[in-house]
């Protein structure tokens, strides 16, 4: 993996748009990710430029002569298949997963249904449409229970519910961000994440990162804007546990049809050390606090080579099917 992002003909990549910002609730983080990616690509000699879809129409990509896009957008209108579909119509290759995989992975419920069907471990869950249904889910799943939007990221709109009286407020918060609200069994144990690079049979998991957040609260603030969260890479987990996480993450990636890169979040249940897949991010963060660059460094891949290698894998759905 240490060779990733090397021996690439930079000139052949052409004029590159780094898509950042956008209209989602994760705009602020996306701007930070995009700024890092843009600087890294330019340092490698790539003709890379900032492009914010909230400020310019996507058809300007064609007008301005861009040859490919690095998607540094997070959340809706960037990670959910919508931008990917627009780029397919514009015939401009882009980084990361295609239309279908992006759309499915953004929807935590659809993701869990597929993983469950494929025999992959994921926490039990209920879909709810009211505060009363949230209370019913709490009665079924027990405490603690996670309530969150089904199609958002970065822990936005998420509540850890400890008793039935908190259900209504938790539902209302999640429903502000999405009409579909997910209640999920909380797995008590070690919190980990594991990135994947590559496509198809060549996709490989990077080292696992073990996350220790203040009071176990790995929320939006602790993800991006504090330095109190601890990240352990190497993870310090037993070798067999790390290998099993990497195995199921690679299978989870391929099962959804992901390509290029992604990062899966996994909880290890403390009682029996069983890993559970929570979700997979097909356009992970690339900020100073982000985890894909951290795991890549542990594999001998610099931030600059990581960005260049991901860009070099940019493609279109049709091209991927023909390869």
Catalytic residues: 26, 154, 224, 263, 265, 279, 281, 285
Query: Using an 8 Å Cβ cutoff, are 306 and 292 in contact?
Result: yes
Kindly report the backbone phi and psi dihedral angles of residue 271, in degrees, each rounded to the nearest multiple of 5, phi listed first.
Answer: -70, -35
Place of tokens 């879909």: 127
16: nearest Cα among 56, 59, 47, 53: 47
Could you count the other beta carbons within 10 Å of the beta carbon of residue 243?
A: 12
Name residue 262's beta-bridge partners.
196
Task: Find the DSSP H helices in 154-273.
Answer: 167-175, 220-224, 239-255
Query: Using an 8 Å Cβ cutoff, are 45 and 10 in contact?
Result: yes
187: nearest Cα among 151, 145, 137: 145
Sorted by sequence, the CB contacts under 8 Å of residue 288 that are 6+ apart come out as 32, 36
Structure tokens at 218: 């790995």
- Alpha carbon distances (Å) from 112 to 34, 127, 147, 297: 29, 12, 15, 30
Query: Using an 8 Å Cβ cutoff, are 262 and 282 in contact?
Result: yes
Could you count the other beta carbons within 10 Å of the beta carbon of residue 207?
A: 19
């Amino acid at each position: 993996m240490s060779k990733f992002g090397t021996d690439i003909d930079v000139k052949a990549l052409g004029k590159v748009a780094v898509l950042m910002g956008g209209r989602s609730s994760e705009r602020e983080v996306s701007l930070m990710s995009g700024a890092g990616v843009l600087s890294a690509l330019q340092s490698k000699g790539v003709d890379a430029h900032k492009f914010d879809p909230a400020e310019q129409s996507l058809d300007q990509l064609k007008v301005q002569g861009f040859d490919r896009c690095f998607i540094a957008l997070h959340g809706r209108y960037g990670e959910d298949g919508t931008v990917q579909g627009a780029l397919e119509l514009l015939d401009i290759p882009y980084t990361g997963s295609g239309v279908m995989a992006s759309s499915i992975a953004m929807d935590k419920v659809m993701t869990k249904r597929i993983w469950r069907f494929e025999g992959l471990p994921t926490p039990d869950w209920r879909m709810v449409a009211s505060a009363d249904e949230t209370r019913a889910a709490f009665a079924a799943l027990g405490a603690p229970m996670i309530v969150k939007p089904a199609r958002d990221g970065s822990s936005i709109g998420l509540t850890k519910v400890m008793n039935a009286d908190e259900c209504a407020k938790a539902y209302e918060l999640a429903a502000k961000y999405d009409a579909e609200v997910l209640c999920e069994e909380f797995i008590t144990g070690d919190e980990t994440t594991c990135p994947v690079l590559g496509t198809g049979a060549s996709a490989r998991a990077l080292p696992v990162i073990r996350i220790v957040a203040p009071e176990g609260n790995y929320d939006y603030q602790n993800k991006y804007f504090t330095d109190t969260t601890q990240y352990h890479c190497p993870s310090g987990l037993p070798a067999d546990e790390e290998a099993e996480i990497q195995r199921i993450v690679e299978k989870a990636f391929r099962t959804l049809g992901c390509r290029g890169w992604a990062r899966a979040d996994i909880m290890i249940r403390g009682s029996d050390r069983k890993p559970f897949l929570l979700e997979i991010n097909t356009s992970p963060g690339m900020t100073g606090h982000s985890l894909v660059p951290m795991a890549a460094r542990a594999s001998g891949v610099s931030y600059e080579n990581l960005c260049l290698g991901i860009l070099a894998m940019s493609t279109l759905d049709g091209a991927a099917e023909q390869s």
